[in-house]
Amino acid sequence: MNLKKGLFITFEGIDGSGKSTQSQLLAKSLESIGQSVILTREPGGSEGAEIIRSLLVSGETDRWSPETEILLFTAARRDHLEKTIQPALDKNQIVICDRFVDSTRVYQGVARADLGKTVDELHSIIIKKEPDITFIINTDPEKSLLRGLARSSGEDRFEDFGLDFQKKLKDGFVKLSQTAKTRCHLIDGMRSKEDIAEDIFVIVRDYVQ
Ligand code: TMP
C-alpha cells in the first residue's frame, strides 16, 4: 500500500545509540501493516555515496578537516538524494534514513568545530530538503561509545575522537531537538529496544493512517 504522498523519516543520535536497530524495527513494523518502505543510511545509500562513506569513516581522526568533512558529507548526501531518496518519495514510498543533515549539523557544525552556519548555508544551496519526522535517540555517551567500539566495525574514525566528543554530540542533538520541535522527537534511548520501538511506531502510525 502506498501513501498519497511520500514520507521522509530520519534517525539521529550519537555513535552506538541504537538508531540503526530502531530504523530496522520501524521498517519492519511499517511493512507489517502493508506500507512500502525504503530503508537507507548516511553517509551512503547510493553507489557513489557508499564510496564517499569509506573515505569518511576510516583512517586517522586528522585525515580530514571539519570543513572538508562538510563538503564530503554534502556530496554524498546530494548523490543519495538524487539516486535513492527523491525517487522513492516521488513514488509515494516511506523513506527511513539512518542519519541525514542533522548529523552534519551536530557532528561538523557543533562538535568538530563551530561551523553551524556553514552547514546550513551549504544545505540550503545543495540539498534543500528536511525530513518530515526525525527521531533523536538520546543515550548515555559512555555506554554508547563502549557499544560502538565493541562492534570493531573498522568504521571508527568518529568514535576515535573520544568521550568528550560524544558528550558534545549528545548536547548538540538535545539542543537541536529543541530548535526543530515540530519534526524532531527526542526519544529516551536508555530503555529496552522494544519499548523504544513502540513509542516510535505510535508517533509514525498517525502519519500513515
Ligand atoms: P554511522 O556509523 O551511523 O553509519 O555513521 C558514520 C559516522 O559518520 C558516524 O560516526 C557519524 C558520522 N557522520 C558525520 O560526522 N556527519 C554526517 O553528516 C553523517 C551523516 C555522519
Give the integer Cα–Cα distance in Å for 93 and 39.
Answer: 11
Q: How far is the CA of 98 from the centre of ligand 1 (A)?
A: 9
pTM higher than the cut 0.95: yes
Which residue of 52, 69, 99, 139 sits with most ligand 1 atoms within 8 Å of its CB, as the best mutation to test the pocket? 99
Residue for grid cell 540503526? 20
Identify the pLDDT of residue 152.
84
Q: Is 158 in the pocket of ligand 1 (CB under 6 A)?
A: yes
For 87-109, the pLDDT digits (tens) are 999 999 999 999 999 999 999 99
Please choose, from the candidates 6, 67, 58, the residue with its C-alpha nearest in 3D space to the C-alpha of residue 35.
Answer: 6
pLDDT < 50 stretches in the chain:
none
Helices (H), the chain: 19-32, 47-57, 66-80, 86-90, 101-103, 116-126, 141-150, 163-179, 193-208
Identify the pLDDT of residue 1.
67
Q: Which residues contact 62 (CB under 8 A, 6 or more apart)?
A: none
Give the position, in ligand 1's atom list, of the atom nearest the Cα of 159.
10
Please choose, from the candidates 135, 129, 156, 130, the residue with its C-alpha nearest in 3D space to the C-alpha of residue 145.
Answer: 156
The cell numbers describing 119, all together, are: 552547514
Identify the pLDDT of residue 151.
85
Q: How many CA atoms lie within 13 A of 100 on its CB side?
A: 26
Give, using CA atoms, the residue closest to atom 19 of ligand 1: 103
